[in-house]
Structure 1
């Protein structure tokens, strides 16, 4: 009898032990489900705000979660499109911008068209990009200030001028670039673009004046966006017999600017006409 009781007690202890293990597992699952449920039920506005504070994959994930709850949220589509563009996913970016435009074409003063235009320009769809920049100009707000940008007016003129320059229409590019400077007189990149156009037309005094206003100098060499500007500044110096042109071309070549690489090889390497930094 005593042995039987001992066996029964042992069985009960084993059952209790198993029960406790199962209970702990179920409690853990409940906690995980609660946390997951809490995350999935965040307000859409909060998800979008958190996305704007994040970057890359995390931002895209937050915007996607917001859109799962509210597929017609134009802000989330616009922001996710920007993140897709930044992470080299142009097709997904274009899809988001296009969907957002279909929902609310005048959202955020034209930036939906402007941002889609930038993706189209980056993928060499220049006529389509120019069309989007033109639409952006038609719907954005027009303001004037003697010293501050009129955002986004000057940006859209600058972008359209840049696309027209890439397309080879230097006359229209100059008109747009002048307009960008009109709406924001201190716009450095617009001055650099106008300087580039002046170098192409061999108007070197005008080009030099714009480079000076924009203050293109050594501090700008750290940024790949200025690679083309340094190439044309070097070309200006070359034609004005300023021997520091090799320094400009070296700055452009650092970011794989092909014309700068060719000019460095021809004029700045051993055996060529070598320019020295002043």
Structure 2
């Protein structure tokens, strides 16, 4: 899954006895980047105490909670960020990610859709919404999102992989082959892509190509490819 959206400003050292909320926020972002989530939250608590109507501070604290996998607190803070300022797509997108982690897929779709309406050219939103549609077996809607993501960034590997899996779910084997061929050319050590390409070849009666492709996947450590070779190639 794509990273949460967080604009990170340059670090400013804290020198005053009573730092301003902006300084506290900058320090918290630096700590967040370093993976020091508890310390980041402490600075954000202080920033929010001084400036309780600050949407960005809630959004950043929610990201810290998300990284700790405390999704309930993350959702609460993302929701507060939205309540204070609903103009930005970021807390909607981020809250959608939290809902997705909780398996609350309909709420995730709703938030991703709002985020798209606010900022329609962010590739990651389409990727994540497409993943949710795929999980819900809504393959046609997933395909539409992956198609649009590829319009925003051509031949993005994660989108090629996701779209290929969706095409396979729809039994569009040749379309899946095309995506996987592009992907294996871009990422020559992607064992999963080679394995899936072999499966797509098999479905179009190209067994020799399947076996050659699975051998590449097996060499890259794919146990599934090893099983496929034993079943179809020996």
TM-score range, shorter chain: 0.7 to 0.9
1:226-237 residue pairs with structure 2 within 5 A?
A: 232-233=196-197, 235-236=199-200
Residue aligning to 1:205? 174
Distance 2:151 2:51 in 1: 41
Matched, 1:122 2:80: no
Q: 1:101 to 1:252 in 2, by over 3 A?
A: farther
> 4+ residue stretches of structure 1 with deviation over 3 A?
229-241, 244-253, 263-268
Question: Cα offset for 1:102?
Answer: 0.8
1:162 to 106, 131, 134: 131
Q: 1:176 to 1:53 in 2, by over 3 A?
A: same
Q: 1:265 to 1:216 in 2, by over 3 A?
A: closer
Q: 1:173 to 1:103 in 2, by over 3 A?
A: same
| Superposition RMSD in Å | 3.0
Distance 2:221 2:102 in 1: 21
| Kept after mapping to 2: 8 A contact 1:231/1:252 | no
Residue aligning to 1:53? 30
| Kept after mapping to 2: 8 A contact 1:238/1:245 | no
1:233-244 residue pairs with structure 2 within 5 A?
A: 233=197, 235-236=199-200, 239=203, 240-241=206-207, 242-243=210-211, 244=213
| Kept after mapping to 2: 8 A contact 1:246/1:275 | no
- Computing the radius of gyration from Cα coordinates, the structure with the larger value is 1
Paired positions, count = 209
Distance 2:233 2:38 in 1: 45
Output the TM-score relative to the length of structure 1: 0.65
1:97 to 69, 78, 81: 78
Report which structure shows greater RCO (CA 8 Å, sep ≥6): 2
